[in-house]
Amino acid sequence: MKRTAIPVLVLTALSSATALASADAAPSSHSQPSRSGSYRVTATVNRTEPLQGSRVKISAQVSPAAPGARVTLQVRYADQQAWKTVAHGRLNGAGKVAFKDKVSTVRERRYRVVKPAGAGRGAGQGTTPRVTVFGWRTLTSLATVQSLGFAEASTLDINGTAYPDSLSTWPAGPQPFHVDYNLNRDCKQLKATFGADDRSAVSGTTTLSLKADGAERFVGSFGLTQSQPVVVDLAGVFRISLNATVGNGGIGAVGSPRVLCSF
């Protein structure tokens, strides 16, 4: 039997088809490049326990640096779920940015700095530590836990000086007098003027003291026209108690007591 040779043209066509199939299986050089990761943002705050009405500084570092890129400062309060935009800024040549924010309320909060996606990288964000704001408030604005022999006074006089939002004792009654307040470990300091109410008898006497969780922090004795400004550290204290004993018509007075608290 005579064999028939396969034409060279057919072999050439088969080789070309195989080459095209291999080319289709290989990745296209025009496909989208994959992202090389997300921006890393580190955010810090200069004070975590600022005073109400002051300003805090929030600083952030974005890596890799994206000079001139826009970033956003946001805040979230402890009693809210949503973040609120506060300001916008632009990164400097080193990828850094700084913001300032006035803390006008004593609400606990956190800040974060957000860098949007760009230049083949995903968005990044950095959150500061918790910021607890402290503010001064009158002690008489707090609810009393127990009270005996003390009364609130819209104003009273100690050595000729008027003190609003104050406390005074009864001139007589079962003693010692006391009034207690729970601070729930959320206050740092108390300021007040302790002394004898100007309504006291000339020979009147009064002894006033302050206890923090049962430990005496201040004690003083006063006669008419005598007083003393007092500052007491209350960090970590749950309950304070003002105590008094009076005699010979003396009236104890705690002038304008204020507490520095985060509520």
For the chain, give every domain's residue range. Answer: 40-133, 136-261
CATH topology of domain 136-261: Jelly Rolls (2.60.120)
| In the chain, % of residues over pLDDT 90 | 85
**Phi, psi for 176 (deg, rounded to 5):** -80, 150
Q: Which residue has the tokens 């004690």?
A: 219
**Which CATH code is given to the segment(s) 40-133?**
2.60.40.10
Query: What dihedral angle (degrees, nearest 10) is formed by the CA atoms of 80, 84, 86, 92?
Result: 120
List, for residues 218-235, the tens digit of each pLDDT value: 999 999 999 999 999 999
List, for residues 94-150, the tens digit of each pLDDT value: 999 999 999 999 999 999 999 999 999 999 999 999 999 999 999 999 999 999 999
Q: How many CA atoms lie within 13 A of 155 on its CB side?
A: 6
List, for residues 176-211, the tens digit of each pLDDT value: 999 999 999 999 999 999 999 999 999 999 999 999
CA angle 55, 61, 62 (to 5 degrees): 135
